[in-house]
């Protein structure tokens, strides 16, 4: 039930996300960029529409024996395009898919890779979140997606899971260390650190230059997790959404979470129950960090999910 409400909450904001996407964003497709000897980033900086996987970043890590993919986008169609781009880079087998967490824009393309021989790896809490994804795919149009967008999309969940950490050896000294840093964006959000390239994939623990979705977040724990990454020696910091990032972006995200929690508690205390739409408008004026213009609809969904009492607008109950 909680999963259902979370998904409904996300879906409720999509109208505004879509309007924003339609008016403000140029349609920039995902592109592959080489970051270092073994690491590629497949991402966008401008198009955060649902039909473009909300601008989710993916990674490709190439060893001498195998390839590991970080996240698989929102649909079979997008995953097929992503896979075709990988096949242009290397003829090594894509043996592993890692899901940084279970959310649609990071995991609904899994089947394309699994069908072609990859094993899907994730945190144990991402595996047990499967029913939430099943509900979400059954209601894909709530997310602003059409049957054409989702054609051929079949859910596949991690079959290899871990609790704390795990290492994948891709050959030639290329290692991918997967870690669970504690609860943050979800209770199963993990990171991937590539050696020797010093590339750190943070998934949706970090949103840079866009608003984060906080609805399932453990805010106090998330802030601690981010604080620990302030000491990272990584040469490349890859957020779940947004451009290549720096330690300043990690600090900014901490400040955002603190501000958001403070504003939410204060405003709700001072003003009592309000509708999420007007609160979100006020929040957008109060949360100016680093030009977070993209994904502004998440402000409203985060408020609904995280802070507003159930049924403030009666909307969640109607569906």
Give the total residue count for the chain. 319
Work out how close the CB of 213 gets to Zn ion at its nearest, in angstroms, rounded to a whole number. Answer: 6
In the complex with Zn ion, the residue whose CB is nearer, 78 or 204, is 204
In the complex with Zn ion, the residue whose CB is nearer, 38 or 211, is 211
Tell me: does residue 216 bind Zn ion (CB under 5 A).
Answer: no
| Phi, psi (rounded to 5 degrees) for 172 | 70, 25
Binding residues with Zn ion: total (CB under 5 A) = 2
- Among 278, 284, 279, which residue's Cα sits nearest to residue 296? 284
In the complex with Zn ion, the residue whose CB is nearer, 204 or 252, is 204
Work out how close the CB of 23 gets to Zn ion at its nearest, in angstroms, rounded to a whole number. Answer: 24
Return the DSSP state at 245: B
The rounded distance, in Å, linking the Cα atoms of 168 and 275 is 47
3-state secondary structure of 129: coil
Tell me: does residue 187 bind Zn ion (CB under 5 A).
Answer: no
Q: What residues numbered 88-117 form the site for Zn ion, per CB under 5 A? A: 103
User: Which of 146-166 are b and which e, b meaning 16 or more Cβ less than 10 Å from the residue's Cβ?
Assistant: eeebbeebeebbbeebbeeeb
3-state secondary structure of 166: strand
Part of the chain binding Zn ion (CB under 5 A), chosen from 203-211, 229-237, 248-256, 259-267? 203-211
Q: Judge contact between 98 and 71, C-beta under 8 A.
A: yes
Work out how close the CB of 123 gets to Zn ion at its nearest, in angstroms, rounded to a whole number. Answer: 13
Work out how close the CB of 194 gets to Zn ion at its nearest, in angstroms, rounded to a whole number. Answer: 21
Work out how close the CB of 229 gets to Zn ion at its nearest, in angstroms, rounded to a whole number. Answer: 17
In the complex with Zn ion, the residue whose CB is nearer, 67 or 207, is 207
Part of the chain binding Zn ion (CB under 5 A), chosen from 25-33, 175-183, 201-209, 244-252? 201-209
Tell me: does residue 77 bind Zn ion (CB under 5 A).
Answer: no
Tell me: does residue 71 bind Zn ion (CB under 5 A).
Answer: no
Residue 268 class from Cβ within 10 Å (0-12 exposed, 13-18 middle, 19+ buried)? middle
Tell me: does residue 132 bind Zn ion (CB under 5 A).
Answer: no
Work out how close the CB of 318 gets to Zn ion at its nearest, in angstroms, rounded to a whole number. Answer: 25
Nearby residues of 230 by Cβ (< 8 Å), 6 or more positions away: 247, 250, 251
Tell me: does residue 123 bind Zn ion (CB under 5 A).
Answer: no
In the complex with Zn ion, the residue whose CB is nearer, 63 or 136, is 136
Tell me: does residue 204 bind Zn ion (CB under 5 A).
Answer: yes
| Phi, psi (rounded to 5 degrees) for 257 | -65, -40
The rounded distance, in Å, linking the Cα atoms of 96 and 59 is 12
Residues near Zn ion (CB under 5 A): 103, 204
């Amino acid at each position: 039930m909680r999963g259902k409400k979370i998904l409904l909450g996300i879906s409720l904001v999509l109208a505004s996300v879509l309007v924003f996407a339609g008016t403000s964003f140029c349609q920039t497709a995902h592109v592959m960029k080489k970051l270092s000897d073994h690491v590629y980033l497949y991402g966008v900086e401008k198009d955060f529409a649902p039909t473009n996987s909300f601008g989710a970043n993916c990674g490709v890590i190439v060893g001498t024996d195998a390839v590991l993919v970080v996240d698989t986008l929102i649909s079979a169609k997008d995953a097929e395009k992503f896979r075709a781009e990988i096949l242009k880079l290397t003829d090594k087998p894509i043996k592993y898919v890692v899901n940084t967490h279970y959310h649609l824009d990071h995991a609904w393309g899994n089947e394309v890779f699994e069908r072609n021989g990859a094993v899907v790896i994730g945190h144990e809490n991402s595996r047990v979140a499967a029913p939430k994804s099943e509900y979400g795919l059954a209601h894909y149009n709530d997310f602003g997606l059409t049957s054409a967008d989702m054609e051929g999309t079949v859910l596949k969940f991690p079959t290899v899971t871990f609790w704390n950490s795990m290492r994948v050896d891709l050959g030639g000294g290329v290692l991918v260390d997967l870690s669970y840093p504690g609860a943050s964006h979800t209770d199963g959000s993990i990171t991937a650190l590539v050696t020797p390239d010093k590339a750190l994939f943070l998934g949706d623990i970090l949103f840079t230059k866009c608003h984060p979705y906080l609805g399932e977040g453990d805010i106090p724990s998330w802030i601690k997790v981010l604080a620990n990454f302030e000491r990272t020696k990584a040469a490349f910091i890859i957020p779940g959404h947004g451009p290549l990032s720096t330690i300043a972006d990690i600090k900014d995200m901490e400040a955002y979470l603190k501000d958001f929690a403070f504003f939410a508690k204060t405003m709700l205390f001072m003003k009592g129950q309000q509708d999420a739409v007007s609160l979100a408008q006020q929040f957008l004026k109060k949360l100016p960090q680093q030009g977070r213009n993209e994904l502004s609809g998440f402000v409203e969904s985060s408020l609904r999910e995280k802070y507003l009492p159930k049924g403030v607008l009666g909307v969640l109950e109607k569906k």
